[in-house]
Structure 1
Amino acid sequence: MNAVTVQEHTDPGTTRATGGIRIGVRPENRRHQIVKLTWTGLWLFYLSAPVIDLVRGGHSAGARLLGTLGLAAFVVWYLVLVLRVGRETAVPRVLLSLGVLAAQATVLSLTLGREWLVLFVYVSISSGAALPGECSRWTVPGATALLAATASVVPGGDEYLAGLLIPALMGGFAMVGVRAMIRTTMELREARATVAQLAANEERLRMARDLHDLLGHSLSLITLKSELAGRMLPDHPDRAARQVADIEQVCRQALVDVREAVSGYRRPTLPGELAGARTALTAAGVAADLPTEAPAELAEEEESALAWSLREAVTNVVRHSGAKRCTVTLTSCQTLAGPVMELTVADDGAGGPAVPGNGLTGLTERLEAVGGSLSAGPAGKTGFRVLVRVPLGSPS
């Protein structure tokens, strides 16, 4: 495991290659596409009945060949419809595709037998997945009705109908719900990205206003005294010198004000870093177990040191650990040196020894400035733990 390094938190709307597909996020690379295709393909297991019928159903060689081609075409058409979930496609084109799929299911069932009635379940599911709710609430029952009508014609189809009606209806409407959930999730992601952008813009405006308020008066005073000193210099050099001294004092005070303002903008807070850590871990696919509230008894320097430690430790978990779970605890305890606040960031990742780096060195220096300490290393056979101690009641 590499050393902790300082890094800004990842944009919540950004996706990472975590080996899985998150709801509402389209596949970003070939690996994601393969995972999604594999997950969708698992449900093709229920096509075993038509496959067994092709092998053992006593059909002629020509019927087997046509049945195999028809089943392959049906599966490809079904996958195209289902894998396009969340994309915008004209409803008439989707309806035409569903009509082709339903026609394939009907022809195959009528010509090859009752085992092929299961294809209508896939027609219903693809209908719910590919069409908006206002359309699929009609097409799902329509596909189920077509199943019932076809089963009444196919020899022995009534025996299969009871076991297929419920899966066709429930599967279709379940996909309607999944589609709605995906759309809502995508809209929430877009809204969150918009809110983050608006917040950043508002922060820039606030900084611009504060700097204007800080420097506007000082710069105006410097300009006025500079003009006054220029006029006094030929006849009253001593008075001009006093004006120059005043200019120096105003410049120094303005520099102090700017430094304090910039330090205030840069100083992280524990509530903000806890929220940011939860967002970063969730975006990385890491289960996050974090406190819901930050301790209220911390001084400004103590809170800042703990917040920087939390940010860097979580960044390390996201970037290097490959962990599935990260646990963060904040506890106050009594030691021989006095009361301290302990921050622990532990993960179940690859582990390994701590490697000194710029982030770890900088973090240690921050903690030493407030009398704190840091220890980092493996936590058992797997995992890594960062333990930070900051004394309570340090001078502010």
Structure 2
Amino acid sequence: MTTERDTWLDPLREGERGPDAKGMYMWVAVTAAPVWDIAHGRSHPLWVAWPAALAAAGLYVVTTHFAFADRRRALPVLGLLAVVVLASAAGFRHNWLYLIVMLAVATGVTVRGRILPVVLFAECGAALAVAVAAGASLTGVLSMMWGTFTAGLIPAIIIRLWEAIHELKATREELARAAVTEERLRFSRDLHDLLGHTLSVMVVKAEAVRRLSRVDADAAAGQAADIEQVGRQALTEVRAAVTGYRGRGLAAELDSARAALADAGIGATVRTSSVRPDPEIDALLGWAVREGVTNVVRHSRATSCAIGLRDDGGLLVLEIRDDGPPKKAQGHGNGLIGLRERVRAAGGTVETMAPQEGGFLLRVAVPYAKENDE
């Protein structure tokens, strides 16, 4: 259903192309003014007046046609039209002066850029000279000059506005295509981060099952149980990721982290900030909690985990610390690599370190803008 707002933002509905030559041909009717003078015997000699009127009409039609079809060919024809119109107006005067307005319309649809006002002012000057020579009153002279200028300026503005609308529509479509491409890349990266390591573990354990099945059934059963556990964990992560694409944020991830840590027998301490970041940063921090807690559950052998979020002078700092055995700081896993890319895109940083007292620390700092409460 198309709303009034949609129509306003996108006036180029299907089948609409904006101004064209056919819409400008109507101004050839201005030649009726000199034809009136010819018919009433005010334009002599007739063998010059009739060809002049017909030439002005024909050149105007050709100029407007080329203005929309091939503007380079329109410019010389416009020059010839200007010669015919100005010579005829100066020679026959009276209603022939209206041809200058028709000339201005042709100029407005043909000439582009900064040269247009210059050309229109020149035509206004010519209109002034011809009107004064014809003995027109001050009101008539001013009306002629104003009519000439606006007759050229208004079509030019309308055409430029429609061209701008076309350009904006094309830009919007290109941005939409780029957004789809970026989302596909992000999805593929997320899928790799979620399943790459898990599937590798499952393949290794499946090979172990195949080797042990003939020599140690109990060991093979243990490996098969591990495959089942890893598969269930992968399913949980995929469901969490899909939920994340639907708008899962920091609060929901913290709840999931508490549950995951409790299931793993790891005590959880969570401290949050009262700051409400915008949805993009909120989702990013949620992803960081998910990645950090997943690593704690999988690799840390910890008994407790502390998750803290604080405001540090325009930065939101998330820290996830466990008390597992001492280990070297790790920062090259697929999950952390993907997290670094996302945080870097948001203007933040990711740090990993192994404190001297043991355990592992993941620190994520991102700039934030507060969510509008309205």
TM category (shorter chain) comes to 0.5 to 0.7
2:24 to 40, 58, 61: 40
The alignment yields a C-alpha RMSD, in angstroms, of: 3.7
2:192 aligned with 1:207: no
Q: Is the 8 A contact 2:21 2:65 kept in 1?
A: no
Residue 157 of structure 1, CA deviation: 5.2
Choose which of 17, 22, 27 in structure 1 pairs with 2:14. 17
1:177 — aligned with what?
157
2:59 and 2:136 map into 1 onto residues whose CA distance is: 20
Give the TM-score, by structure 2 length.
Answer: 0.53
Query: 1:286 aligns to what?
Result: none
Runs of at least 5 residues in structure 2 that lack an aligned partner in the other structure: 248-374
Give CA-to-partner distance per residue, 1:130-167, whole Å, 9 cap, x none: 223321121111111122233344x4556853331111
Q: Is it true that 1:113 corresponds to 2:93 in the alignment?
A: yes
Deviation per CA, 1:66-107: give whole Å up to 9, x if none: 2452133133134225546xx8x45xx554333112112023
- Aligned-residue offset at 1:230: 2.3
Displacement after TM superposition at 1:205 (Å): 1.5
- Aligned equivalents of 1:230 and 1:210: distance in 2? 30
Partner of 1:250: 230
Residue 358 (structure 2) aligns with = none
- What residue identity is the alignment partner of 2:194? L
Which protein has greater RCO, CA pairs closer than 8 Å, 6+ apart?
A: 1
Whole-angstrom CA distance in 1 between matches of 2:171 and 2:128? 44
Alignment of 1:269-348 (within 5 A): none
1:73 maps to 2:68: no
Aligned with residue 124 of structure 1, among 85, 104, 110: 104
SS at 1:133 equivalent: coil
Question: 3-state SS of the aligned residue for 2:104?
Answer: helix
Distance 1:16 1:182 in 2: 12
- In structure 2, what residue type is equivalent to 1:231? R
Q: Report the residue type matching 2:84 in the other structure.
A: Q
Structure 1 residue 221 displacement after superposition:
1.4
- Partner-residue secondary structure (3-state), 2:114: helix
Corresponding residue number in structure 2 for 1:52:
36
Distance in 2 (CA, whole Å) between partners of 1:64 and 1:131 is: 28
Matched to 2:14, the amino acid is A
Shift in alpha-carbon separation, 1:47–1:161, aligned structure 2, 3 A: farther
Q: TM-score, normalised by structure 1?
A: 0.51
Kindly indicate whether the alpha-carbon contact (under 8 Å) linking 1:78 and 1:122 is maintained by their aligned counterparts in 2: no
For structure 1, list consecutive stretches of 5 or more residues without a partner in the other structure.
28-32, 268-396
Paired amino acid for 2:120: V
Work out whether 1:241 is the aligned partner of 2:221: yes
Alignment correspondent of 1:284: none
User: Per-residue CA shift, 1:321-373, capped at 9, x if unaligned?
Assistant: xxxxxxxxxxxxxxxxxxxxxxxxxxxxxxxxxxxxxxxxxxxxxxxxxxxxx
Q: Which residue in the other structure is 1:192 paired with?
A: 172
- C-alpha contact (below 8 Å) 2:25/2:61 kept by paired residues: no
Quick one: distance in 2 between partners of 1:134 and 1:15?
27
